[in-house]
Structure 1
Amino acid sequence: MKEMLARRIAQMLLATPFMSAAEIKAQLSSEFSESSRSIINSVLYARRKDLFEILGTEQPPIWAVREEAVELVRSWQDMPDTDDSSSSVPVALDIEYSGPPMRAWQQEAIDAWIRAGHRGIIEAVTGSGKTAVGIRAVAMALDDGRQAAVLVPSIDLQKQWYENLRTALPNCRIGRLGGDAGGRLPERWDVLVSTVQTGARRTLFTGSAAGRALLVADEVHRYGASAFAQALTDDYDWRLGLTATLERTDNAVEDVLLPYFGHQIAGCDYARAQADGILAPVKVALVGVDFTPRERAVFDLADDTVRRTKDVLIHKYGAPENPFGEYMAAVQQLAKDTGGAARFANRYLKAFSDRRETLADCSAKLKLVRALPSTGLAATRSIFFTERAATAGQVAVALTSGDVAAETLRSGLTPANRDKILRDFRDGELRALAAPRVLDEGIDVPDAQVGVVLAASRTRRQMIQRMGRVIRPKADGRAAIFVVMFVRGTSEDPGLGAHEAFLDELQQIADEQIIIDAADLPEVLQRWLGTSPEQSMRAPTDTRGHGAAAPKPASARLDKRVHESAPKSTLFRESNDAPISTPSTVPTTTEDQDLLVEKIVAALEPLDGLATAQELFFQLGIHDTVDLRELARTAAHHARIDLYEMEGLDFVALSVDRGGASDDRLKALKDIVFWASESSDPLWEFRELVGRLGPVRIPHERLIRFAATVRGTVPSELIRLH
């Protein structure tokens, strides 16, 4: 086993330095009788950068332990010999590693992981090469006679790891489990790449293989969820977690992840990546825009409601103030009940969503997109990061109308359609992508030069994921350009300390950063892109009549609110709670609206009475997403549907003819949406959901299709992931 041989050689050289390969072989003959001088030389030269060094110019070479590795080798003296000749674990392979050479930070991280007993979580920003660290750990495990399992949270990541491992370890058996490969465990494998959803429910190791395998957990921050945490078993004594940012909104990092993996290991932040020369030069423009008077009034009202209801929920109803994830979970739980706590919780969630929606839909941001230099954007690749699919669609229309080939990459696309869009972007057929968060994690996106952020990053992890799409080095040395739009005087405004922790990630590596008005951005961008004013400037284009993109499917997010089909007086009963003013969300009914309400009810019929906003969008052909939402609210107000509203313009509608009383349908709707969007394994929990629906009747096939739509996939993909 080459790893064991390397350790033994290092221990010998630490005790007796200045030996040649022949002298080392002579001393090892009793322990490693089959180790030829060529094998010993291969170990010495393979670990020359991190473990061994040649002293002087003598021939044959004289070897010693590198000074910086002395403490590591000393730590091995007290470690038990892990060799077990009676083990049924596959014998060590003669590993042919064909992966990329290790960067300095990668080797340092691997060394630290070894010193920590082959356990730890390595945090490395997107684009810095953390996958290569995982592959190196896999190669070490195989070289030590161990099997390795790589667990991933998505089919996209499974495909990427599988191909990377096949390339880097060509003489090893790489197997797959879950996703496209189905749920049958391969008969023979050295490395298994499994979706965590499937791997958590299967016994992967038997006999003495159990307890001495390697686990590589990619996107490990997601393994704090209870269903994913089931994959963190005692089968693995070598444990490696990989993530761009080890953060969660709950306490699972401290309660679940670190107790299992044991250590957080310094990997590569952006400052280190820049120092090591693995980033492009970075230019940053922070661009302030203003609300219209109406937008400002709506925002201020929602913001005031958020602040006052939050205070009541914390101090009167016991919601925890921190961490934010636990606070939101408590508010959502309160919203499911009745009485004063539920009313305040629902008002908070509604105002929270209204505030975010108003920021996302700020008309000045879209106007600024229309004014960007078209010739410059048409000569490079750009990604526009939005909060919602509707905004992404409007961005794509605005760019296309200005002769910049653009497409929306949204949830709900089939894998084939999404792959085509990414392929066209890579090949230059498309010059811009507009994406509502679906690019934030796990998708292999072609390199882009320009990143335009229309919606502020919610978390440090989201900001790092976005940065990683743009800051990779360019072949011709071009700079990576970031444009971050913000609404002045709001939670987006850096001048008020907004998102300071997230922007710091970007600003600390910027070669040039400026804060400018919207009117100055086109000139700055054309200068950074190297285009002339005559080539680039264009007037804003009115895109009315082109239609808007469909609203995105309901997603697994926390800000949800409900419009019941019961009369409004039953929703807000009299109490001693302090009154909170809320804007009316029920439009005045006209004959045309009555007709459209009937159309909504009719559109639900072929969908078995259950539909997302996206599905109704395509059924009805209503091109204004605001109108669609208000129409759905009207239908709910007149007891024709039950309505579950989420962030932005997203909602889910349930027809009243699905059976049960209003309370039954409302409870069923909440359960369905939570199951479809939040469940770590919707198929595993399907039977339990059906039992909770009570008198509400929805065909099982429709529920599965609904869950697939909400998750941005198709039923067959959902089943393969299972």
Structure 2
Amino acid sequence: MPVARLPSVLLLFDRGTILLRDLDPGFDPSAIPGVLWDPRVQAYRTPAYRHEALRRELTRRGLPFSDDVRLPQPPLGSWSPIELRPYQEAALWAWELAQRRATVVLPTGSGKTRLALAAMARAGSSALCLVPTRILLAQWLHHIGRTYAGPIGCYGDGAHELAALTVATFESAYRHMDRLGNRFDLLVIDEAHHFGCGLRDEALEMSIAAARLGLTATPPRDAAVAERLVELVGPIAYELTIGDLAGSFLSSFDIITLHLDLTAAERQAYEGWMTTFRTVHAQFRRVAPGASWEDFARAAARTVEGRRALEAFRRARRLTAFTEAKREMLRVLLRRHFHEARVLVFTADNESAYAVAREHLIMPFTCDIGRKEREEVLARFREGALRALVSARVLNEGIDVPDADVAIIVGGALGQREHVQRVGRLLRPREGKRALVYELVSRKTTEVRLARRRRAGLAPRGAAAV
């Protein structure tokens, strides 16, 4: 009677990695990409996100294996029908054609969350949704609860509740993925552009989920970051910009750029700080003409002159963030629109946001307020009891800001990505709506060049930036 051959490889999940045990003496796992010897446990190990690739490689080599990685899946609830717009359906189809491992790029306000709900419903498997902030955590739980009949887990904002469908903040996922990594078949990554640069990438590396859906309005343009994101999430399978959808599925909008002068005292201070900065920066550029800003910052931090230059640059940026002319123009614009529209004011930093709040008695919407207060503020804004909000960064990503008509961008710090997200806050469609964006730019400063770059992100694909 023939004896059944025992599996030559046993696969086990171990704190975000896959261990290879019970190996045949003639098998060398180090020949498989990503598999390394771990002398601490006397076994070969590979990151959990390579689980499916490892299975395929073992099968290709004809090596039998026993896979004890995946924990049993708890029962899933049922989904209500989810209607999609044509471009959302096209994006979902593109993701499925990419073997359900890809990134979808859609502008703010175009319904990326709804697309993700449809993807989870169509996949019919356990899913972990990752979001960057506690505000978005509550928002995703709310949206899922409207279309999904079943328990919803939550990791973040003090909660540690596990279910077949779970939402977690990036930070909580990073801290707990060693225990969550073998429980889900699908990862949904909101604001996926936060990954790919090393910070918290391990949260994606430690999950075995073969299916992955990345969502972003602003994909990374740095080649190294983009390549890393392809490895962790998948390639871009579908992409539309604000310019592609404005006027049809998003509200039409107008942008008015107002160039404002510095006062004599501001100009003197600005030029003094920028002269200090430019002297050191020019010396660095002569030595390293192809270097990035990050390279300069690292090099400058090593010398007294370099640190002085960086501080001078920061002082110049703080000065232009909220000048006297911007103060006066903001006063004029608020007086014009306060009673006829709902206004969002965006600043470069919290210091400027609180200054605006004090001067104009506008509610600040910052990282310093708790979830309950945030919900109350948005509800009052929706009802019209609050006519304006001011924020530095909290409103940039993903938060539903209902019925905003006018945005006043006093200052920015994060470039094209931030600008696209801010404009997108106004573009949730409403019959007859045409949004209005004011951008305040200090004349003859670095803001002029930055403003020109920011606008490139609003053009339709293939359109030239002007």
TM-score, scaled relative to structure 1: 0.50
Pair 297,199 (structure 1): closer, same or farther in 2 beyond 3 Å: same
Q: Does 1:157 align with 2:140?
A: no
**Structure-2 residue corresponding to 1:129:** 111
**Structure-1 residue corresponding to 2:451:** 499
Secondary structure, aligned partner of 2:341: coil
Measure the CA separation in 2 of the matches of 1:104 and 1:467: 23
Question: Which of the two has higher C-alpha Rg?
Answer: 1
1:16-415 → structure 2 map (5 Å cutoff): 89-90=72-73, 95-99=78-82, 101-142=83-124, 146-170=125-149, 172-182=150-160, 185-186=161-162, 189-203=163-177, 210=182, 213-232=185-204, 233-247=206-220, 251-254=224-227, 256-274=228-246, 277-315=248-286, 321-328=290-297, 330-331=298-299, 335=301, 341-372=302-333, 374=335, 376-400=337-361, 406-415=362-371
RCO greater where, 1 or 2, for CA within 8 Å and sep 6 or more?
A: 2
Measure the CA separation in 2 of the matches of 1:274 and 1:414: 33
Measure the CA separation in 2 of the matches of 1:487 and 1:227: 33
- TM-superposed CA distance for 1:280, in Å, is 1.5
Measure the CA separation in 2 of the matches of 1:457 and 1:293: 24
Measure the CA separation in 1 of the matches of 2:360 and 2:71: 61
What amino acid sits opposite 1:489 in the alignment?
Answer: K
Measure the CA separation in 2 of the matches of 1:223 and 1:126: 18
Number of aligned residue pairs: give it: 393
What amino acid sits opposite 1:264 in the alignment?
Answer: I
**What do residues 253-288 of structure 1 show as CA deviations (whole Å, max 9, x unaligned)?**
32x21122231122331122126x122221221112
**Structure-2 residue corresponding to 1:648:** none
Q: Is the 8 A contact 1:384 1:435 kept in 2?
A: yes
- TM-superposed CA distance for 1:326, in Å, is 4.7
What amino acid sits opposite 2:439 in the alignment?
Answer: V
- TM-superposed CA distance for 1:94, in Å, is 7.9
1:302-701 → structure 2 map (5 Å cutoff): 302-315=273-286, 321-328=290-297, 330-331=298-299, 335=301, 341-372=302-333, 374=335, 376-400=337-361, 406-456=362-412, 458-474=414-430, 476-493=431-448, 497-506=449-458
Secondary structure, aligned partner of 2:389: strand
Structure with more strand by fraction: 2
- TM-superposed CA distance for 1:346, in Å, is 0.8
Structure with more helix by fraction: 1
- TM-superposed CA distance for 1:397, in Å, is 4.1
Pair 152,305 (structure 1): closer, same or farther in 2 beyond 3 Å: same
What amino acid sits opposite 1:138 in the alignment?
Answer: M
**What do residues 330-373 of structure 1 show as CA deviations (whole Å, max 9, x unaligned)?**
24xx52xxxxx421221121111121012113101111122236
Q: Is the 8 A contact 1:98 1:167 kept in 2?
A: no
Q: Is the 8 A contact 2:242 2:459 kept in 1?
A: no
TM-score, scaled relative to structure 2: 0.76
Q: Is the 8 A contact 2:186 2:211 kept in 1?
A: yes
What amino acid sits opposite 2:341 in the alignment?
Answer: T
**What do residues 39-74 of structure 1 show as CA deviations (whole Å, max 9, x unaligned)?**
xxxxxxxxxxxxxxxxxxxxxxxxxxxxxxxxxxxx
Secondary structure, aligned partner of 2:195: helix
- State the identity as a percent: 28
- TM-superposed CA distance for 1:204, in Å, is 7.1
**What do residues 531-578 of structure 1 show as CA deviations (whole Å, max 9, x unaligned)?**
xxxxxxxxxxxxxxxxxxxxxxxxxxxxxxxxxxxxxxxxxxxxxxxx
Q: Unaligned 5+ residue runs, structure 1?
A: 1-85, 336-340, 401-405, 510-722
Q: Unaligned 5+ residue runs, structure 2?
A: 1-67, 462-466
**What do residues 613-656 of structure 1 show as CA deviations (whole Å, max 9, x unaligned)?**
xxxxxxxxxxxxxxxxxxxxxxxxxxxxxxxxxxxxxxxxxxxx
Secondary structure, aligned partner of 2:386: coil
